[in-house]
Structures are given as structure tokens and as C-alpha cells.
Amino acid sequence: MNSISTPIQRRSLVLGALGSAAMSFVPSVHAAQFVNVLTGGQSGVYYPMGVAMSQLFGKALPDAKVTVQSTKASAENLNLLQAGRGELAFTLADALSNAWKGNAEAGFAKPLDKLRAVAGIYANYIQIVASEESGIKTMADLKGKRISVGAPKSGTELNARAVLKAAGLSYDDFAKVEYLPFGQSVELMKNRQLDVTLQSAGLGVASLRDLAASVKIVVVPIPADIVAKIGDAAYGVATIPANTYTGQTVDTPTIAIKNFLVSHAGVPDDVVYAMTKAIFDNLDTLVAAHSAAKGIHRESAVSGTSVTFHPGAAKYYREVGLMK
């Protein structure tokens, strides 16, 4: 074999070497940024709020692919975040606390140490709504009735366990216990297959508005002494204002629990910063999506949790004087 290269061959080798060298100087292309917003059932508040937020994120992060995922809410959302299968999620404060500590009974076998807080937002209200014909008027009347307590290990179901226990009740005290999302619970009540549903959601949640428009309802009061017996700082005394639902003509005492937006340590700081800023710069857009957003206030965004805040969110709060 002839080892002496021709001028053309030498030129090809030189050009090839130059091409390889040039390619080594081409900046690496970053992988596309995905933002998956983990919400809840479509008949709740998390989902429409998440859809509205995703539209804001699409504008704030024009190069990102933003999606919204309907889930079983709090517990599932937090486990998905820990696994890196979402970038932002809605959750209740008590579920977040249980996940951070690793409470097996609440569905968290070990601490979810990758979670990072983004913002405290509006409060959920524990709303126990019975059909008028069931005869339920008080917590004591629930015994022996048919109830839905939310999807298994969802934030609502964890709330149900806590509230019923404080009222001296267990699931064994009911004639029937269903573990269903809000919409399905309402359909069974319309068909007289259930007497009462417990839903932890923002005021005016679509599922309960639908129920109240279809059958006569009773919003069952949860007295302050039951709140005290729960013994968890995440649970506070609250009121469901009269006429929140058709047929509910008086203010009704209940329990409020703060909701949080959460991310995880693997999401880039600039992405979380952009999302946090987009939320608080556009609260009117969120209120238009659901009235529960009236309860979102920047001043209360950093209180109510011991979970470490994401650096991107913390940067925003430092800029607006809420963090040092």
C-alpha cells in the first residue's frame, strides 16, 4: 500500500482536522427545559389554577415546554417531585410536613429530601357537605352514614382522618366509606348512593357548586374544639361564608389548611425564579381562573412551612424584601 498521500488527500485530511477542531468549539446545546405542573382532579381547584399558571409560565419561559398533569393531588404530587417527574406541584401544608419528615402512615416511607418550597398560597377549607334528606346536621350525625373521603392518601383523605379522629369517629363508624375524587363523589350523592362528602378545597369548588345546584345540601359545621383536638398547627379555625353554595344561608365554622407550591432541588434556579415572579406579578389572572386565588398574597408566601425554600424562589423573595 502506498503511504505517500497525494495533494488532494493531504488537503482533505487538513480540512477534516479543521472541521473536527471547529466542532469542538461549538457551544453545547442545553437540553430542552420541561415544566410539568402537578395539580389534582379536574373538578377541584388545583387543576384550573395549574392551567392558568402554566399559561403564565409559557410566557415567562418561552423556550420551555410547559404541561399540566391531573393527579390524585398532594401525596402523589410530592412523591412525583421526589422522583423528578414534575417541576412544580400543589400540596396541602400537612401533607408537605409529613413528606419532609417521612411519615409512613401518611404515605411517605422516608423523608422526601429533594423537595423545595416555592410559595405558600391560598387556604383549603375542609368542607363536609351532606344531602338534606340524609338528616345530617352535625358531626355526631355522621355515624352510620355513607361517606366519601377523597382519593386514598390524598391530602383530602389525610384531612378526613385527622378531623374524624378529633370528632371521635373512625372509618369503622360509617355504613360505607368511598375513596373517590371530588367529581365522582358528587355523582354518587346525586344518585343517592352516598349521604355526605368531605372535600378539602378552595371555597366555591366546582364539584360542590355542581352538587348544590342539583340537590338540597347541608354544610356541616366543624366546631373550634375539634380543630383544637387535632393538635396540628397546619389546621386553623375558619368560616365558610353564607351563600358560598346554593342553599347555604348561614356562615359555617370549619377548618382551613394552607396550600403550598413546591418544586425539587433539581430544577434550575432561573426556572423557579421565573415561575415565582410570574405568579405574583399576575395574581389577577389567577383570580380570573378561580376565585380561590383571592387568598394568594405575596406577604404570606414564605410562612407556614419548615421545608427549605428553593434558591430560585428565595432570590425572588429577597428582591421584594420578604427574605434576607
Question: Do 149 and 247 fall within a single domain?
Answer: yes
Question: Do 118 and 266 fall within a single domain?
Answer: yes
Last residue of a domain, which of 231, 257, 283? Answer: 257
Identify the band that residue 4 occupies on the pLDDT scale cut at 50, 70 and 90.
very low
Question: Do 227 and 211 fall within a single domain?
Answer: yes
Q: Is residue 23 in some structural domain? A: no
Identify the band that residue 31 occupies on the pLDDT scale cut at 50, 70 and 90.
low
Mean pLDDT over all residues of the chain? 91
Cβ count near 28 (within 10 Å): 5
Residue 312 contacts residue 87 (beta carbons within 8 Å): no
Question: Do 129 and 250 fall within a single domain?
Answer: yes
Identify the band that residue 232 occupies on the pLDDT scale cut at 50, 70 and 90.
confident
Question: Do 194 and 178 fall within a single domain?
Answer: yes
Question: Do 143 and 192 fall within a single domain?
Answer: yes
Q: Is residue 17 in some structural domain? A: no
Distance of alpha carbon 236 from alpha carbon 300, whole angstroms: 15
Question: Do 284 and 223 fall within a single domain?
Answer: no
Q: Is residue 6 in some structural domain? A: no
Domain that holds residue 69: 34-122+259-319
Question: Do 130 and 251 fall within a single domain?
Answer: yes
Q: Is the pLDDT of residue 26 over 70?
A: no
* Tens digit of each residue's pLDDT (9 = 90 or more) over 90-128: 999 999 999 999 998 888 999 999 999 999 999 999 999
Question: Do 94 and 241 fall within a single domain?
Answer: no
Q: Is residue 7 in some structural domain? A: no
pLDDT at 303: 94
Closest to 232 in 3D by CA, of 259, 254, 256: 256
Closest to 100 in 3D by CA, of 304, 272, 302, 305: 305
Instruction: Say if residue 83 is exposed, middle or buried (CB neighbours under 10 Å; 0-12, 13-18, 19+).
Output: exposed
Distance of alpha carbon 267 from alpha carbon 265, whole angstroms: 6
Last residue of a domain, which of 257, 275, 290? Answer: 257
* Tens digit of each residue's pLDDT (9 = 90 or more) over 179-219: 999 999 999 999 999 999 999 999 999 999 999 999 999 99
CATH number of the domain residue 210 falls in:
3.40.190.10
Question: Do 270 and 312 fall within a single domain?
Answer: yes
Distance of alpha carbon 255 from alpha carbon 126, whole angstroms: 6
Last residue of a domain, which of 257, 291, 308? Answer: 257
* Tens digit of each residue's pLDDT (9 = 90 or more) over 257-281: 999 999 999 999 999 999 999 999 9
3-state secondary structure of 176: strand
Q: Is residue 292 in some structural domain? A: yes
Distance of alpha carbon 200 from alpha carbon 126, whole angstroms: 4
pLDDT at 105: 84
Identify the band that residue 45 occupies on the pLDDT scale cut at 50, 70 and 90.
very high
* pTM over cut 0.75: yes
Comparison of pLDDT for 154 and 67, the residue scoring more: 67
Instruction: Name, in order, each residue with C-beta under 8 angstroms of 113's C-beta and a sequence gap of 6 or more.
Output: 82, 100
- The domain total for the chain is 2
Q: Is residue 103 in some structural domain? A: yes
Question: Do 209 and 265 fall within a single domain?
Answer: no
